[in-house]
Amino acid sequence: MMTQKIHPLLIAGTVLVFMFLVGPLIIVLGAALSDTTYLTFPPQGLSLRWFENIFAIDAFRRTILTSLQIALLSTVIALIIGIPAAYALNRYRIQLPGWLSTLFVLPVLVPELVLGFSLLKNLAVQFNSPIYVALLFGHALLVLPYVVRVISASLASFDFSIEEAAISLGSPPLKTFFTILLPNVRSGVIAAFILAFITSINDVSISIFLTGPGLSTLPIQLLAHMEQFFDPTVASVSVLLMLLTVAVMAIVERTLGLTFLAK
């Protein structure tokens, strides 16, 4: 609602800020469509050859698959263990110690680089565990806070007495979970899934320590490619990632409304 007049200068400033936010991404899009072998904007002739090039480069094909795999698996792990944790935090708030909810925020507090390095040093090297395991659980940790927070938010409006009614009428706990609780937090689960997935796909700081010869993720491969070649392939991969973002936003919009993200 327009409750107050806003100074025209403030509006002009806001327009500039949004140009600043969207402009660089449009430039990336333009660069990806360029016909030239070097990065340039505005594009000199349009072409989709750099998109074809992504799939011609073996490393990109491989890392796209790895990234999708890691994002999917780590999100599923985080959901399987995060939903019960969020439930416990809300349902048994009084019985559980206060520091427990702080524990689930730790992955946000501890710098990602430190986490990645520590997993490499004290898990992969010291215990000789496969680097894939460290990468997978590193990502599961990274996305766990999103799951716990979003599911907690949707449980906040859930009336636990419905669940108690079902149990007192003889419904077994697992059945109660799947028929009563889960449908009620469905949109929360979808939102948590999406936020977790996109966070994992884009992660650099943990992955940079947990990738190496034979195992790499897309953002790390992008960084490596940029250091060697400065061609529009990076721009076209960036555009693919932006398309993924558009898809994600469309799903969020349909399930929750995007204003949910600004709550």
> Residue 34 forms beta bridges with which residues?
46
- What tokens appear for 76 in the block? 């599923």
Nearer to other proteins, 13 or 48 (CB): 13
Which residues from 119-158 bind other proteins, rule CB under 8 A? 119-123, 137-138, 140-141, 144, 148
Q: Does 174 bind other proteins (CB under 8 A)?
A: no
In angstroms, give the least distance from the CB of 118 to other proteins. 4
- Residue 214 phi/psi, 5-degree rounding, is 95, -25
Q: Does 202 bind other proteins (CB under 8 A)?
A: yes
- Residue 256 phi/psi, 5-degree rounding, is -130, -25
In angstroms, give the least distance from the CB of 258 to other proteins. 6
How many Cβ atoms are within 10 Å of 111's Cβ, its own excluded?
11
In angstroms, give the least distance from the CB of 169 to other proteins. 19
List strand residue ranges (DSSP E) for 192-243, in order: none
Q: Which stretch binds other proteins (CB under 8 A): 53-61, 159-167, 179-187, 205-213?
A: 205-213
Please tell me what DSSP assigns to residue 212: B
Q: Does 59 bind other proteins (CB under 8 A)?
A: no
The count of residues interacting with other proteins (CB under 8 A) is: 88
Which residues from 237-256 bind other proteins, rule CB under 8 A? 238, 241-242, 245-246, 248-249
How wide is the angle at C-alpha 161 spanned by C-alphas 159 and 166, nearest 5°? 120
Burial (CB count within 10 angstroms: exposed 0-12, middle 13-18, buried 19+), residue 74: buried
Nearer to other proteins, 28 or 192 (CB): 28
Pattern 213-242, other proteins, x by CB under 8 A: ------x--xx--x-------xx--x--xx
Distance CA 242, CA 37 (A): 22
* Closest to 262 in 3D by CA, of 247, 249, 244: 249
In angstroms, give the least distance from the CB of 121 to other proteins. 6
- What tokens appear for 140 in the block? 């599961």
In angstroms, give the least distance from the CB of 185 to other proteins. 14
Q: Which stretch binds other proteins (CB under 8 A): 89-97, 149-157, 161-169, 178-186?
A: 89-97
> Residue 46 forms beta bridges with which residues?
34
